[in-house]
Structure 1
Amino acid sequence: MKFFSQSFLYDDPWPIVSLAFFLRYPNPYASHVLSCDVISREFTPSGSLLTTRLILKTATLPRWAPKGIISRSESLILEESEVDPHGKVVRCLTRNLEHVKAMQVHETQTFSQVGEGRTLQTTEARIVSGFGWGLTRQIENYGLARFRKNVQRSREGVALILDLIRQARMQPMTVGSSYLNPTSASRFTTKPRAFDKSASQPHQFPETGDPSLQT
């Protein structure tokens, strides 16, 4: 089992960073993300917003991994988040629903307000492989190294969306326009993909499920 923990301080207010986090797909630093579907969204009696999203990502293993260790080259990720507007904190849990024997990654992220106009992001992850055959440690080390890279790329993606939000705030709003035009980030991607849509045809959840190579 491998563990990861890292904190990062944004020089942007919590509401803007939280918005950028939920709008982070698509972006040119997340080419491994194929789709993002909102499964459910509701308010709690205390006013917190609960959201469940299903994210489809590419799934790859190194060349030294045995053939057939994963059944397909894609993986479903479950993302469960809570936005607490009173405590000014976002909590997000993600885990992979497929290929859990090869590797399970359980990720926790929090975004909390720090003073005036700054936001602290904390990321923690637990990486576990149950594959065996003398490859457990090797697979876990690979997963940890890849997770570190994904965290950095995710941060760069959020930074890009933050920049687009700043640009949007500087321009006058017209009737019927959105706060952030989705095509602003889409133009950086190499091919069109569908993101953040209500799932008209829900994905089938595997019977086994646990953590994710998130971010």
Structure 2
Amino acid sequence: MVKYFCNYADIESTWDQVVSAFWQRYPNPFSTHVLTEDVVYREVTKDHCLLTRRLLMKTNRLPRWAEHFFPGGISRCVYIMEDSIVDPVNRSLTTYTWNLNHTMLMSVEERCVFRDSPEQPAVTQLRREAWISSSIYGFSRPIQEFGLARFKSNQVKAMKGLEYALSNLQGDAPQRMLRDTVKDASDKAKEAAKSLASAAAVPQKPQQYV
């Protein structure tokens, strides 16, 4: 069984601005859990679409109840693959994301479509869909409910991060304050990455099961 989620949002910015801000979302003070982002592949097709694949690494704090089922040495990072298609002719940006690890515990797939609003030229419409599943027998339903709650919380942060990038592009906030806030967010992400790397280097005691 898969948990399905869908919602819509209007972004009060033109499609061109939203696409520009999309590539400049990180770092931002609302997404300090995003540690790294790397472009794996990029291509411009014959019909002028931009195809991009990116790999993102994020912190992944397990809920307390999940820690009883998984060894203490389990990775606290989640690797996310993101495919995106920018279609300048039809003025759409479509993204597909899914997690590469922890898939037995929970798999989260997301699709977002950003389009021009036909009624409001200065507004971009966003349709977001998500599919959440778990392979843990007997616990799949509560894990999916937890995953949906976390997904909704993360999407609120994602929207705030996008709005932050838009305000930076549009000059709605003092540039010095923006630079300082971004630097602070970047420093926090780097420290989190260092802590995770140090923890991974420490040998873990074997997990005992009765």
| TM-score range for the pair, normalised by the shorter chain length | 0.7 to 0.9
Using the TM superposition, give the Cα deviation of residue 18 of structure 1 relative to its aligned residue in structure 2, in angstroms. Answer: 1.1
What is the aligned partner in structure 1 of residue 70 from structure 2? Answer: 68
Using the TM superposition, give the Cα deviation of residue 36 of structure 1 relative to its aligned residue in structure 2, in angstroms. Answer: 0.3
On the 8 A contact 1:26/1:185 being kept in 2, the answer is no
Q: Is 1:102 aligned with 2:105?
A: yes
**Ranges in structure 2 where 5+ consecutive residues have no aligned partner:** 191-210
Deviation per residue, 1:114-157 (Å, 9 max, x gap): 1311100111000000011x211111100000001111111011
Which whole-Å CA distance do the structure 2 matches of 1:90 and 1:57 have between them? 23
What is the aligned partner in structure 1 of residue 96 from structure 2? Answer: 93
**Ranges in structure 1 where 5+ consecutive residues have no aligned partner:** 172-181, 195-215
What is the aligned partner in structure 2 of residue 81 from structure 1? Answer: 84
Which has the greater radius of gyration? Answer: 2
TM-score, normalization by structure 2 = 0.81
Task: Check 1:127–1:28 CA distance in 2 against 1; reply closer, same or farther (3 A cut).
Answer: same
Q: Is 1:160 aligned with 2:186?
A: no
Task: Check 1:121–1:38 CA distance in 2 against 1; reply closer, same or farther (3 A cut).
Answer: same
Task: Check 1:123–1:192 CA distance in 2 against 1; reply closer, same or farther (3 A cut).
Answer: same
Aligned partner of 1:49: which letter?
Answer: L
Aligned partner of 2:122: which letter?
Answer: G
What is the aligned partner in structure 2 of residue 191 from structure 1? Answer: 187
Which whole-Å CA distance do the structure 2 matches of 1:183 and 1:38 have between them? 23
Using the TM superposition, give the Cα deviation of residue 187 of structure 1 relative to its aligned residue in structure 2, in angstroms. Answer: 2.7
What is the aligned partner in structure 2 of residue 32 from structure 1? Answer: 33
On the 8 A contact 1:78/1:95 being kept in 2, the answer is yes
Which whole-Å CA distance do the structure 1 matches of 2:47 and 2:104 have between them? 38
Using the TM superposition, give the Cα deviation of residue 110 of structure 1 relative to its aligned residue in structure 2, in angstroms. Answer: 0.6
**Partner SS, residue 187 of structure 2:** coil
Aligned partner of 1:43: which letter?
Answer: V
Aligned partner of 2:158: which letter?
Answer: S
On the 8 A contact 1:49/1:84 being kept in 2, the answer is yes
**Partner SS, residue 186 of structure 1:** helix
The structure with the largest helix share of the pair is: 2
**Partner SS, residue 8 of structure 1:** strand
On the 8 A contact 1:161/1:185 being kept in 2, the answer is no
On the 8 A contact 2:42/2:52 being kept in 1, the answer is yes
Which whole-Å CA distance do the structure 2 matches of 1:104 and 1:32 have between them? 18
Which whole-Å CA distance do the structure 2 matches of 1:188 and 1:72 have between them? 25
CA RMSD of superposed structures (Å): 2.3
On the 8 A contact 1:108/1:123 being kept in 2, the answer is yes
Q: Is 1:125 aligned with 2:126?
A: no
**Partner SS, residue 114 of structure 2:** strand
On the 8 A contact 1:105/1:127 being kept in 2, the answer is yes
Give the % identical residues.
34
Using the TM superposition, give the Cα deviation of residue 184 of structure 1 relative to its aligned residue in structure 2, in angstroms. Answer: 6.3
Using the TM superposition, give the Cα deviation of residue 19 of structure 1 relative to its aligned residue in structure 2, in angstroms. Answer: 1.1
On the 8 A contact 2:110/2:128 being kept in 1, the answer is yes
Which whole-Å CA distance do the structure 1 matches of 2:14 and 2:116 have between them? 7
Using the TM superposition, give the Cα deviation of residue 67 of structure 1 relative to its aligned residue in structure 2, in angstroms. Answer: 3.8
Deviates more, 1:104-113 or 1:20-29: 20-29
